[in-house]
């Protein structure tokens, strides 16, 4: 009888436990618990470039065009949408430079040289300069290319001018060359600097040069001065829309902006090296770099674009917000056909 009582008591307790568990389980289906699950904090993922489908839906597309070469393409400049020049080098082989031209329908090889070519700029379709290895400078007059005497054997990385008689070329070992319309001459800064990679200006008396270790030099028409950029890594490219709106780009995703009085760091969202920048306005700026990286600035922030490329991209230029070219490794030429639709 005692055994039966103990069994009965155990069954009673078991029944109570089952009822309690059932009540608890039914409570889990109530609104309170569901709300707690919805409010659970989820760690944000790092932003990624939009897909090609998303870009196309926004009218924002980069497409690769056939260049007909496997050269490393380093620089691009044009006089119009149907008159675009690209220069490059035959890596890993050296001492062969190439100039490509686009006439609005096809790309052709205009000329090859025994020296690599790194930069190109012109004041018009009949006044184009290209610079490169060993101090080579070549000029196009609208019909033929001819070599000019640079009076240096140092590599020249970039070229820019304000007019046919005011052209600057910069490069290896701090080299700065100036063309006055008749001949090239050396410019001395009074500073000790490493290699210089980019040059841009808004006028003959407002020229910026960037290079190794965060170096930024400014020319006021009479003399050069060193600017405090706050950067310590190499700066590779420079572009601006005015004397008070200048962008520089470089290693580890470094982007700096000049407002006319001081330089400040911008959030780029990348640690990839950026090689060049170009824009059509203060709210439409492109930066290009390592592993097909292309960034766009809309006047308030930088965002990544889907380039569809994985090669390094070294140069960028456009004739308008909806006609932009980017060039890089293995003959890569990318064309941007539409501006971001807001």
Does residue 122 have a pLDDT over 70? yes
What's the fold here for domain 58-336?
Methylamine Dehydrogenase; Chain H (2.130.10)
The mean pLDDT value for 153-177 works out to: 97
pTM: 0.81
Q: C-alpha dihedral over 273, 56, 327, 82, to 10 degrees? A: -150
State which H helix or E strand residue 138 sits in: strand 137-140
The tokens of 326 are what? Answer: 């980017």
Q: Which residues face 69 on adjacent strands?
A: none
Q: Where are the domains of the chain?
A: 58-336
Q: What are the tens digits of pLDDT across the range 178-236?
A: 999 999 999 999 887 899 999 999 999 999 999 999 999 999 999 999 999 999 999 99
Determine what percent of the chain is predicted with pLDDT higher than 90: 75
The tokens of 249 are what? Answer: 């780009």
Q: Which residues face 93 on adjacent strands?
A: none
- Which one is predicted more confidently, 4 or 312? 312
Q: What are the tens digits of pLDDT across the range 135-148?
A: 999 999 999 999 99
> What does the mean pLDDT of the chain come to?
86
The pLDDT, as a whole number, for residue 191 is 85
């Amino acid at each position: 009888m005692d055994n039966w009582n103990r069994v009965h008591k155990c069954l009673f307790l078991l029944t109570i436990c089952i009822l309690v568990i059932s009540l608890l389980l039914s409570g889990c289906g109530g609104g309170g618990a569901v709300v707690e699950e919805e409010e659970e904090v989820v760690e944000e993922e790092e932003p990624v470039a939009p897909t090609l489908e998303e870009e196309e839906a926004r009218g924002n597309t980069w497409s690769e065009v056939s260049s007909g070469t496997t050269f490393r393409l380093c620089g691009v400049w044009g006089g119009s949408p149907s008159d675009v020049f690209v220069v490059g080098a035959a890596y890993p082989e050296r001492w062969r430079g190439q100039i490509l031209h686009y006439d609005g329908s096809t790309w052709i090889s205009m000329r090859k040289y025994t020296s690599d070519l790194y930069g190109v700029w012109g004041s018009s379709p009949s006044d184009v300069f290209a610079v490169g290895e060993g101090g080579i400078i070549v000029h196009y007059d609208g019909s033929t290319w001819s070599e000019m005497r640079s009076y240096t054997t140092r590599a020249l990385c970039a070229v820019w001018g304000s007019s046919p008689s005011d052209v600057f070329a910069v490069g290896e070992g701090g080299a700065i060359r100036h063309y006055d319309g008749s001949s090239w001459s050396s410019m001395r800064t009074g500073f000790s600097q490493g290699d210089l990679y980019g040059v841009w200006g808004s006028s003959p008396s407002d020229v910026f040069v960037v290079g190794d270790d965060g170096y930024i030099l400014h020319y006021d028409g009479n003399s050069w001065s060193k600017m405090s950029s706050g950067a310590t890594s190499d700066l590779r490219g420079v572009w601006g829309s005015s004397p008070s709106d200048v962008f520089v780009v470089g290693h580890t995703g470094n982007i700096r902006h000049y407002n006319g009085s001081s330089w400040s760091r911008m959030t780029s969202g990348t640690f990839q090296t950026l090689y060049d920048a170009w824009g059509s306005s203060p709210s439409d700026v492109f930066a290009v770099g390592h592993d097909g990286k292309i960034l766009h600035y809309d006047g308030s922030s930088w965002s990544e674009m889907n380039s569809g490329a994985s090669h390094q991209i070294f140069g960028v230029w456009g004739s308008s917000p909806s006609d932009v070219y980017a060039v890089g490794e293995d003959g890569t030429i990318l064309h941007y056909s539409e501006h971001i639709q807001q």
